[in-house]
Amino acid sequence: MLRYFIRISFLGNNYCGWQIQPGQISVQETIEKCISNLVKEKITIVGAGRTDSGVHATKMYAHFDTKNSVKKKDFLARINLYLPKDISILELVSVKDKSHARFDALSRTYKYFISQKKDPFKIDQSYFCKYDLDLKLMNEAAKILLKFDDFECFSKSKTDVKTFLCKINYAELKEDNGLMIFTINANRFLRNMVRAIVGTLIEVGRKRISLKDFEKIILEKNRSNAGFSAPAHGLFLTEINYDWHKIK
């Protein structure tokens, strides 16, 4: 069997998320069906992670195995004819047979877009927040995240994960032409983690949660003490890092 990595981008509005779910349309199942039709065999793809319903990706990776060699140029041209208009496969990379899209990922980066002015062209790709937000205060709170490694307070309740430990390498907000963009990079993320962090940072920006309270929320490890979960449509998976010298 030959193993390939694919680089994917998609808009998540029309999907239940990445992972296959009974009776719903997922990104994973949509791609699997198209690749299976193209290579004339049943294909299963393994993603680098799981995005929730409505979350987007500008750079997502997955791997699949096939019996036959795949020609990159022909594959990319044909697969994008099969795929719906809101999913694209941008790259095909031949890798070692033990390389794994999820377990070999070194870090992941998400961006969350907050619009502070009503813009119909950004309605499905950013969260319109009508409140005035203190960017400086929010960035002070974002710095606090780097002091900790247990983020149970930002994890979705009733989850089956074995650990809530994550190493956050970077977390910062910047303003750009009417958008507030939160960028966060970590070795792994818990389910709903980024959206919960963003919702809590917004509460800090509105001065409803102090920096002292923000740190206390993390220490108490209770999701109900943190802020609301920001809407999925403002969230993008934008980068997954690998040591390509090891996996190719």
Residues annotated as catalytic are 52
**Nearest CA to 8 among 70, 78, 92?**
92
Coil, strand or helix at 3: strand
Longest dimension (CA), the chain: 58
Give the dihedral sign, CA 186/191/193/199. Answer: positive
- H/E/C letters for each residue in 171-217? EEEEEECCEEEEEEEECCCCCCHHHHHHHHHHHHHCCCCCHHHHHHH
Residue entry with tokens 């009503």: 118
Alpha carbon 116 to chain centroid, angstroms: 22
Determine contact, residues 133/198, Cβ cutoff 8 Å.
Answer: no
Question: Hey, what are 30's tokens?
Answer: 């949509």
